[in-house]
Every structure is written in structure tokens, then in C-alpha cells.
Structure 1
Amino acid sequence: MNYAGDISPKQAWEVLAQEPGAVLVDVRTRPEWAFVGIPDLANLGKKTVLLSWQNFPDMAIDPDFAAKLKAQLGGAQGASVGPLLFICRSGARSRSAAIAATAAGYAQCFNVAEGFEGDKDGASHRGQRGGWKFAGLPWIQD
């Protein structure tokens, strides 16, 4: 495996709560953050890092993602950073971001497999089948 593995939203919350250096990186787009919401880590004394894996509206992968991640983490890299947990809508983009961060030298990169909204239900709606919100974890919306 070319990243540390997949974890559920509840496991991600536990890691964030137990590991002082753990960081949650939301790799969705600005419209998703604004209109769907973001994980709220205030109770843990942390903030979610907002860094798009793909640029809206063309959804091209950001070629500078690794450099921007390093800048967001204050220049820290590799073993000097606690676990990095990547989240997107459903777990696909975040898996790609975890793989890219691992290739860039970060040691513990996890994918939050169900993402923020989870998989679609029979009516093609998200939010009823897994995900951060469905798990009842804190989130906010501007």
C-alpha cells in the first residue's frame, strides 16, 4: 500500500483527539466547504486544514498540492509531523491526496474512507450512508 491506510470518520476523530500532532486535511473544493460544511475540531483545540486536491471548476489536480501542504503545515515534513488524515466528500480524492503526501515524504497519511458525506443512497443522495456528518461528528457551515 502506498499510504498508511483507510480509517472511518470515528477512528479519525479518535486519532485527532489522542495524537497532539495529528492533522485533518479537507481536500474538497471551496464551494463544498461553503455549501456543505467542514469538520469542526474546535473541541480538540485544532483547526481543519483546507487544501483542495483538485481546483474548482475544472477539477484538475493541483500540481502544487505537496508544496501547499508543506506550507500549510508550517514547513514541517516527514516524521516531524503527526498523522495526517485526509478527507473529501466520499473518500476518493482523499485517498489520492494521502498517496501523494506519502510520496512527498510524509510518513503517516490516512484516508478517511467514508469522507464527509458518505456514499449515495438509493435516491442518489449523500449523507445517509456513512461519512463524518452521518457519524454525528462536529461540523460547521458558514
Structure 2
Amino acid sequence: MARSRFSEGSGPSQRQLRVGELIRRTLSDVLNRGDIHDPELNALSITVSEVRASPDLKIATAYVLPLGGGHRTEAIAALKRNKHELRRAVSREMTLKYAPDLRFLIDDTFDRMDRTRELFARDEVRRDLNTGDAEE
């Protein structure tokens, strides 16, 4: 059976990547300028690290992290509360046929990097890594 290019396992298309990056920049600008009329949201400094667009470009998932990594639940709650206003701001700044539905998730990339560093710092892991170098 032939597999479509959008089947599971294939990566995002160039269009998805381009639209995701445009939405990321637009969201970052809107949040930095404080264009949203929510004092709680404007009090937080939120980094938008990545936006992934669905193949049909109707859903955009933004991976965000508040400055310093704290207040994660408050940040997600504030973003979800202002989702419609953020969507309007994105559609105003971009020229897409449809304004994508925005979803917000915490970016856990830095947490995973910290866990990886901790693993590599463990004595038994360092010992195993050094043993592998000696055998070559």
C-alpha cells in the first residue's frame, strides 16, 4: 500500500515550518509589546520557543516558557484565557487564509537538557563512557 507524504513518521513540510516560525515571531512580538489587555499576562515575560503548525495549518501549538521557568501554570492559564485575542492579533499581522486555533504547552526542552546533564555527571555513567574510550 502506498504511503502518503503526510503519513505518520514524515516530518513537517516546509510550509508548516515557515508558517510556524511566522506565528512564533508574531506571538513573541505581541507578547513583548503588551498588546493584550490582560495585566496578569503582561506582567509575565514569556518566551515562545517554537510553534508547530498542523498539516492543514488550522491548529498551531506554541511551546512557551516564562522567564526563569517559574509561574508555568499561571502563564498557560493566562495564555489560554487570552487565546481569542492572541488569535486575532496573529491573524491581523499575518496573511493566512484562516487564523489557526492556538494551543499552548510548556516547553520542557531545558528540563530534558538538565536531566541529560545530570545523567552524564553521574559517576557510573562517566566511568562507562571512559571505559568505552579505552577499549577503542
Pair in the same fold by TM > 0.5 = no
TM-score (norm 1): 0.27
Q: Which one has a larger percent helix, Structure 1 or Structure 2?
A: 2
TM-score (norm 2): 0.28
Where relative contact order (Cα < 8 A, 6+ residues apart) is larger, the structure is 1
